[in-house]
């Protein structure tokens, strides 16, 4: 791809072609390279993305806005945009970087894209740089989920379980493989209440936990989505008779009972009270004129 094709993809034609050439030059190529432009472009990019997010998400707080911005301007995001622009075909690299495949390296492509943003800012001002960055990022921002973007697998799993009122997952290192300087950790993630037990591996304990958490999250979501919803059992009021000095009666039937039911209830109450009075009045051995009530357990 030639320089003109790149400018078409960017949506900006440079008035100062030297700025574009410098932005595409890696330090391995010559002393007039793109690192200063990269520094400038990084600041311009952060400002534009902050403005776009501020306008797009009106109800999220500063912390979530910062998290979203950090993930949109990180190396991987820049690398993917650079790939879309086919930027690797326009890089100016030294012989060593060319032989080692530097034109495919994410860090070089991401830095070059930031240098391009800085060069556009110097060439035509902030408004033009804003328009170019907005055009590249708007399709991405439209698909962003502010609740999940930038959160690692362990955080997402924890928040999902808490939202469903389940206890937190348990992580255990079950095995390590390889030499001491190049170990691989096998980590178990278990959620006993859902009978879920998965294993993840990584170059560190943290990486293993993240891998296991990602598998567990998928397993939990599948388990809860596929499980049939259980109907709620209605609580039927049952007749209860408690004798603890006071007799209480809770009928099953609704308030609009028939006359026969009302009579039956009254007779039951009278019978219970009469029996209670007869059995609970006993003479006192010290004072025959007094009566004491002996509690009868229900």
Chain segment 228-259, per-residue pLDDT in tens? 553 333 333 333 333 333 333 344 444 444 45
Is-catalytic flag, 61? no
- Domain 3-142 sits in CATH 3.60.21.10: no
Extract the tokens encoding 25: 């030059």
Residue 98: count other Cβ atoms within 10 Å of its Cβ: 15
pLDDT at 147: 77
Amino acid 274: pLDDT: 56
Q: So what's the pLDDT on residue 277?
A: 53
Give me the CATH topology for the region 153-226.
Double Stranded RNA Binding Domain (3.30.160)
Task: Report domain extents, the chain.
Answer: 3-142, 153-226, 241-293
Are both 3-142 and 153-226 of the same fold?
Answer: no
d(CA 142, CA 139): 5
Q: Which residue in the list 42, 123, 188, 209 is annotated as catalytic?
A: 42
CA neighbours closer than 13 Å in the CB half-sphere of residue 184: 8
Of residues 114, 123, 188, 209, which has the active-site annotation? 114
Give 42-47 contacts, CB < 8 A, sequence gap 24+: 42/73, 42/114, 42/117, 42/118, 44/117, 44/118, 44/121, 44/126, 44/129, 44/133, 45/73, 45/114, 45/117, 45/133, 46/73
Residues of the chain with pLDDT under 50: 230-258, 261, 265, 272, 276, 279-298
Predicted pLDDT of residue 102: 87
pLDDT at 262 (0 to 100) = 53
Give residue 180's pLDDT.
78
Q: Any catalytic annotation for residue 114? A: yes
């Amino acid at each position: 791809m030639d320089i003109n094709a790149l400018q078409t993809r960017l949506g900006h034609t440079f008035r100062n072609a030297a700025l574009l050439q410098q932005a595409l030059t890696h330090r391995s190529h010559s002393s007039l390279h793109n690192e200063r432009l990269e520094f400038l472009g990084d600041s311009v990019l952060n400002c534009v993305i902050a403005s776009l997010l501020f306008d797009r998400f009106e109800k999220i707080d500063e912390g979530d806005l910062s998290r979203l911005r950090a993930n949109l301007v990180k190396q991987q995001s820049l690398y993917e945009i650079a790939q879309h622009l086919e930027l690797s075909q326009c890089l100016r690299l030294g012989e060593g970087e060319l032989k080692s495949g530097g034109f495919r390296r994410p860090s070089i492509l991401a830095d070059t894209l930031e240098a391009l943003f800085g060069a556009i800012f110097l060439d035509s001002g902030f408004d033009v740089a804003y328009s170019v960055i907005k055009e590249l990022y708007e399709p991405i921002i439209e698909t962003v989920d502010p609740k999940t973007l930038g959160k690692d697998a362990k955080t997402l799993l924890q928040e999902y379980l808490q939202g469903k009122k389940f206890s937190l997952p348990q992580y255990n290192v079950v095995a390590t493989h390889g030499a001491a300087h190049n170990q691989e950790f096998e980590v178990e993630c278990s959620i006993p209440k859902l009978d879920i037990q998965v294993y993840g591996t990584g170059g560190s304990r943290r990486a293993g936990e993240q891998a296991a958490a990602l598998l567990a999250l998928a397993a939990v979501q599948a388990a809860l989505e596929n499980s049939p919803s259980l109907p709620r059992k209605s609580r039927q009021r049952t007749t209860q008779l408690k004798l603890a000095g006071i007799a209480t009666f809770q009928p099953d039937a609704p308030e609009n009972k028939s006359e026969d039911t009302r009579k039956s209830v009254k007779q039951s109450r009278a019978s219970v009270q009469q029996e209670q009075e007869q059995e609970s009045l006993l003479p006192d051995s010290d004072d025959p004129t007094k009566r004491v009530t002996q509690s009868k357990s229900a």
